[in-house]
Structure 1
Amino acid sequence: MLSDHPYAVGSRVVVQGKRGPEVATVRGEAAAPDPKGRYGAILRGASADDLAQWEALHRKAEDLKWLLRARARERRLNAKLVAVEFTLDESLVTISYSADERIELGALVTELRDYTPARVNFAAIGPREQAQIIGTLGACGRENCSSTHLQDFAPVSIRMARDQQLPLNPEKLSGPCGRLLCCLQFEHTQYLELLRDLPRKNARVCHDSSGSCGKVTKLHPLAGTVDIQTEAGMLYDIPAAELRRAETQNPPPKGQERAAEAE
């Protein structure tokens, strides 16, 4: 892995890609090796011949992409050809496409025989993979995570947005691909750690310094504070470390309490 090799940030290297050897740029030290050893290992520093071969294959892939798009239109194939990618040794060419239904693309293989000896692999991809290949800007103004550092797409659920106290607005929770933001998943563990030190929403708490007691209406995990609303209707933002759970003589039944927390 990267930590085992003295390659500077910005240098070009040959790595074991998902489908074969590829040329990559060192962006930083790897946080941890791939536990399954599937891809990402540095094979060697990229030589001048490696870089020349990679550039030539990239140009060939671009030409083939437009050729295949034209042939697909001629054959009335209802598919969007997103990318054509070679391995560094030109042993494999992968054609990534998206389609609303299952289609046969075998007829396009014959179009490639005159241009490359590589084995042809068609890969059906979804919206997230398209955003990863094409690249785009996220809501944060930076390049989308899938095109920069994410290696796999882990499942993302709306519960993660709830745990992060985000408004459940589909437009704000969706990325350029139209699916839930990938950052919800890889930030979720950190938010769960922060939530352990906060009272639950709708819990009754007291702040001894101010003498205020009330119900927790909102959590601020990153700031470590919560909003409490007193019986008088006043709203306070107070550090969670300064709060204690209010003692109640007649607590509500567990079913009602859980229902209130779920609201």
Structure 2
Amino acid sequence: MPETQPGPLPPDQPHSSESGGEEAALHFYKIRFRARSQECTASAHADDLVRGDQVMVRTEQGPEPATIVSRCPTLVGETIERPVLFRIQRRASNEEREKYAALPILEQEAFRICRRQIDSLRLPMHLVRVERFFNGSKIIFYFTAESRVDFRELVKALVQEFRTRVEMRQIGVRHETQMTGGLGACGRELCCATFLSRFDSVSIKMAKAQDLPLNPAKISGVCNRLLCCLTYEYETYRVMKKGMPRAGRSVLLEGKTYHVTRQLPLMGRVAVVGGDGEERLLTEEEWRAAEPVARPPGRKGPGRKGAGPGRRSGDDSSEENDPTGED
């Protein structure tokens, strides 16, 4: 099954249950079309499918084989949150299972042939993956390149070799990592290779808001782009920091002026230092009761427009975007 998600399929007609005329309940499963492909959600009327079962799934390209990964626990009357684009039709037959087992071998052979043709034509491209439709009607070759590539001669050679439709699809480094898979710094399988269906924009601002080290080696993933997981808790940090005095501001509490050095949203506190060097953690009640100290006229604080050259901006002022968009 190609990585491109097919469009929504029309819903099945209601089925009658054995106990009466009520519509048969749907059961939801996690499936994979390839050993290293993403997990997808599929629905079925069968309730006895288990991990490892091979089934035939209805897609836009026709029936495609897939493997059951797990069953999605759903309560009675509960609707599944994510859209279900696939419908399991039945278990795969012995002949279909044999053909499914041979599919990776055919794809590996197509990969070798294509790479040999690329080397022969001296094309500036890197082949990443080959996917073949189960019915053999089409083969998709995924590749990366620094710029556009004229692959017309390559397509002619591949069509002559395989006698079927051939599609060359250029992808970016994030999709390359999604296809090849791997382990992240957290020790778990990469999010993009397991459940992420799209790549959201990630920015340095998100790392700053979460007080993460701005070391590229620590906040970049296997693809050398900013970690996708920076987006997971960003909105939570924004909400928790709302109303807290920003770093660099001064506040007046109990007759003393303190300089805010850091926000600690998970603790609900603010780190400050007094004029005499006294360090203190203000509780939420204290920093809400503190009064902001007005800056001297003409002085611009950090993160404001008009800050002098070389001055570092505040947490919420930067919109530096990581070039995570696809090529």
**TM > 0.5 between the two?**
yes
Distance 1:74 1:28, change over 3 A: same
Q: Which residue of 2 aligns with 1:189?
A: 235
1:147 and 2:193 equivalent?
yes
SS of 2:115's equivalent in the other structure is helix
In the alignment, structure 1 residue 214 sits paired with structure 2 residue 258: yes
Q: Per-residue displacement from partner, 1:57-93 (whole Å, max 9, x unpaired)?
A: 2211011101211121111112111100123333332
Question: Structure 1 residue aligned with 2:268, among 210, 216, 224?
Answer: 224
More helix by share: 1
User: RMSD of the alignment, in Å?
Assistant: 3.5
Seen in structure 2, the aligned counterparts of structure 1 residues 101 and 138 have a Cα distance that, compared at 3 Å, is same
**1:111 CA drift (Å):** 4.1
Contact 1:203 1:245 in 2 (8 A): no
What displacement does 1:251 show? 5.0
Report the 3-state secondary structure (helix = DSSP H, G, I; strand = E; otherwise coil) of the residue aligned with 1:85: strand
Which position in structure 1 is the counterpart of 2:38? none
- Contact kept, 8 Å, 1:23 with 1:46, in 2: the verdict is no
Shift of residue 130, structure 1, vs aligned partner: 0.9
SS at match of 1:81: strand
SS of 2:166's equivalent?
Answer: strand
State TM-score, norm by structure 2: 0.65
Counterpart of 1:246 in structure 2 is 290
Determine the structure 2 residue equivalent to 1:262: 313
In the alignment, which residue of structure 2 is the partner of 1:127? Answer: 173
Q: 1:85-129 CA deviation, whole Å, 9 max, x = no partner?
A: 123333332100011222122333344446645421111011111
Matched, 1:32 2:81: yes
Instruction: Flag the 1:155–1:45 CA change in 2: closer, same or farther, 3 A.
Output: farther
- Report which stretch shifted further, 23-32 or 147-156: 23-32
The aligned counterpart of 2:28 is 2
The 2-side partners of 1:15 and 1:213 are apart by 67
Matched position secondary structure for 1:236: strand
Which structure 1 segments of 5+ residues have no match? none
Report the alpha carbon displacement of residue 243 of structure 1 after superposing the two structures with TM: 3.0
Tell me how far apart the structure 2 counterparts of residues 16 and 240 of structure 1 sit (CA, whole Å): 55
Change in 2 beyond 3 A, CA 1:237/1:187? same
Indicate how the Cα distance of structure 1 residues 206 and 116 shifts in structure 2: closer, same or farther if over 3 A, else same.
Answer: farther
Counterpart CA distance in 1 for 2:179 and 2:155 is 22
> Which residue identity does 1:42 align to in structure 2?
R
* Cα distance in 2 for residues equivalent to 1:12 and 1:214: 65
Of 60-69 and 168-177, the range deviating more from structure 2: 168-177
C-alpha distance after superposition, 1:150-189 (max 9, x if no partner): 1111111211112222222222221111111111123322
Secondary structure, aligned partner of 1:256: coil
Identity of counterpart residues, as a percentage?
30
Equivalenced residues, count: 257
CA distance in 1, matches of 2:259, 2:293: 16
Assess if the C-alpha contact under 8 Å between 2:252 and 2:292 holds in 1.
Answer: no
5+ unaligned residues in a row in structure 2: which ranges?
Answer: 1-26, 30-42, 74-79, 305-311, 315-327
Measure the CA separation in 1 of the matches of 2:124 and 2:56. Answer: 36
Alpha-carbon distance between aligned partners in 2 of 1:130 and 1:249, rounded to the nearest angstrom: 51
Any conservation in 2 of the 1:161–1:168 contact (CA below 8 Å)?
yes
Distance 1:220 1:232 in 2: 22
Identify the match of residue 108 of structure 2 among 57, 62, 72: 62
Deviates more, 1:140-149 or 1:111-120: 111-120
Larger radius of gyration: 2
Moved more, 54-63 or 10-19: 10-19
Amino acid at match of 1:2: F
> Partners of 1:254 and 1:189 in 2: how far apart?
33
Does residue 23 (structure 1) correspond to residue 69 (structure 2)? The answer is no
TM-score for the superposition, normalised by structure 1: 0.78
